[in-house]
Amino acid sequence: MANVVVVGAQWGDEGKGKIVDWLSERADVIARFQGGHNAGHTLVIDGKVYKLSLLPSGIVRGGKLSVIGNGVVLDPWHLSEEITKLRDQGVDITPENLMIAENTPLILPVHGELDRAREEQVSVAKIGTTGRGIGPAYEDKVGRRAIRVADLADEATLETRVDRLLLHHDTLRRGMGLEPVDRADLLAKLKEIAEIVLPYAAPVWKVLNEQRKSGKRILFEGAQGSLLDIDFGTYPFVTSSNVIAGQAATGTGIGPGSIDYVLGIVKAYTTRVGEGPFPVELDDADGQRLGERGHEFGTVTGRKRRCGWFDAVLVRQTCATSGVNGIAFTKLDVLDGFEELKICVGYELDGERIDYLPTAADHQARVKPIYETLPGWSESTEGARSWADLPANAIKYVRRVEELIDCPVALLSTSPERDDTILVHDPFAD
C-alpha cells in the first residue's frame, strides 16, 4: 500500500489542511513530521470549521491514528489547549488515536520569550517569526540541551536537563537585559503538564514501522512550505526546520524507502506571510483583489498575506528538491473573473535570464519576474468537481502550469469544502 508525503510547495498557506483531510479518508495513519504550532490548518467538514496548528489534520476523523513525530517541536501547553478545544467541538482524542514520539523536543516559555525579544531588537533585520519559540526550541535540540517528552517521566533526569538548558539561556538573557528564568517555577509547570502529555508518549518510529509492515497506509503531513525550508528556502527568512519531503523520514523514524508518493500542495497564485524576498509580489489592485477573494490572512497569526501571480520558477524548483510526483492545485476559484492572468516563467538578474531562484540574498532581492500572459475566464469554478465543470480557459491555465513546473496535477481544489475536489490521480493508488 502506498505511503504519501504531503508538502507545501510555496511559502505555506497553500491549503494543506483541506487536502490532508481529504486524503486522510484513504489513510490509516496521519503523521506530522516537522514544525510546531506556528503553522495553521483550517478544515471545513460538513460546514463545521476546525482550526489546527499542532495536531495532525487526521485527528478530526474517526478511526485514524494521528502521530506527532520527533521532527516536530512540541509546546505541551498549546497541545493541552488544542485538545480541549477540539474535544469541545465533539472530537474524540485519546492515547488510542493520538501518539507523540518520546524523543520529541519541547517548546518552553523561555523559548517564546527569547524569540520575541530577538524580534524586538532594532539593530538587526526582523526575520518575521511568529514569536512562538519554534526557532529557539530547534536551536536547543541541535545544541543537545533540549528537554524531550521522555524526560518528563523522570524527575531527576528532568532537573538535570533543566539545569543544562538554563546555563545557556540565563547567559543569553543577561546579555539581552532579561531576568533569569525562575527554575522552580519552570520545573513545577513541567511536572504539572507531564500528566497531560505522557499518556500520549510512544516509540513512534516502532509503531510506524509496524503499521507499514502490516500494510497500513501512512500519510505524512508537513507544515509551512518548501520555500521556508532551513536549507532550500529564502534564508534567513525561513522556518527553523527542514520542510521538504526528505524530512518525513527523519522526522518520524521511518526509512526513506518507505515513501511511495510525494504530493506538493500548490496555490493557483502565490502568497507569503512575513519578511523576505517575493519576486512576484503585487502592490496594485490585482494583488489586493487576490488577497480579498482568497481571504489571505494567517490562520495562526492573523497577519495579512502578501499576494502575487503564480511563480512557476519557484514551484518547479520546490518540486525538484522534494521529489514531487504530483501536485494538488488549490484555490483556482480565486482567479475567477480576471480578464487576464500572468505566470512568472523566468527571472531577469542583471540583464540575464535565469530559470531558478539564486541562493545569494542580494541576488534574490534583485531578480525581476518575466511574465507570460494568459486569458482569464468569467465563469465560476467554485465547487467544480469534474473537468467538465471548468471553463476552457481555466483548464488551459492548469495545463500550462503543469508544463512550466514539469509536474502533473493529481488533485484540483475549487473551494474550502473537502468534497469540492477533482481527483485526477489518487496518490494512494501507486
Residues designated as active site: 13, 41, 141
Coil, strand or helix: which one is 360?
coil
Cβ–Cβ < 8 Å for 64, 97? yes
Q: Which residues are annotated as a binding site for Mg(2+)?
A: 13, 40
Q: Where are the alpha helices (DSSP H) in 25-154?
A: 76-88, 109-119, 134-142
Which residues sit opposite 375 in a β-bridge? 340
DSSP codes joined into one string, 172-208: HHHHTTPPPP-HHHHHHHHHHHHHHHGGGEE-HHHHH
What would the grid cell of residue 371 be? 511574465
Q: How many CB atoms lie within 10 A of CB 295?
A: 11
Which of the 8 DSSP states describes residue 104?
A: P
Q: Which residues are annotated as a binding site for substrate?
A: 299-305
DSSP codes joined into one string, 143-156: TT---BGGGGG-HH
Cβ–Cβ < 8 Å for 49, 310? no
Termini Cα distance of the chain: 8
Q: How many CB atoms lie within 10 A of CB 141?
A: 21
266 phi and psi angles, rounded to 5 deg: -135, 125
Cβ–Cβ < 8 Å for 34, 242? yes
DSSP codes joined into one string, 300-345: TT-PBPEEESEEHHHHHHHHHHHT-SEEEEE-GGGGTT-SEEEEEE
